[in-house]
Amino acid sequence: MSSSSAWKFAHQIFNKQNLKYVFTTHFWGPASNFGLPIAAIMDIRNKSPEMISGPMTGSLIVYSLVFMRYSLAVRPVNYLLFACHLLNEGAQLGQAYRYIKYNYGDKIKK
C-alpha cells in the first residue's frame, strides 16, 4: 500500500462523521455491553456447569433476543448493538446447553 492510498484509507476511517459517532451512546452502549458475551464465552471453557444459573441464562437468552430486535427497530439501525446481542445469544445458548446437559442429561437418556 503506497503512502497515498494509506492516507486515503485513514481519511475514510477517521473522518468527521465517524469520529462523531464514536462519541455517542449509539456506539458506547453496545461497546460496553460486549462484556456479557465475552464473559459467557470465557465461562464455557473455564467454569464448571454446576455454577450456571438456569433462570439467569434463560433471562439473558430472552434479553438478547429482545435487544437484537430493538437494534433493528431504532433509527438509525444500530448494527453494533445487533452484533453484540447476536454474539451473546450464541454464548448464552451454549451455556443453556451445558446447564441442561449437566442437570438433566441422565434423565433425558432414560
Given this model, what pLDDT does residue 6 score?
76
Given this model, what pLDDT does residue 91 score?
96
Given this model, what pLDDT does residue 81 score?
93
Residue where the block lists cell 453484540: 84
Domains of the chain by residue range: 25-109
Q: pTM, whole model, 2 decimals?
A: 0.76
**Chain centroid offset of residue 44 CA:** 15
Residue 110: which pLDDT band, with cuts at 50, 70 and 90?
Answer: low
Instruction: Give residue-wise pLDDT tens across range 59-107.
Output: 999 999 999 999 999 998 999 999 999 999 999 999 999 999 999 987 7
H or E segment and range at residue 84: helix 79-109
Give the number of other Cβ atoms within 10 Å of residue 83's Cβ. 15
Given this model, what pLDDT does residue 1 score?
56
Given this model, what pLDDT does residue 45 score?
86
Instruction: Give residue-wise pLDDT tens across range 21-35.
Output: 777 877 888 888 899
44, 94 Cβ separation under 8 angstroms: yes
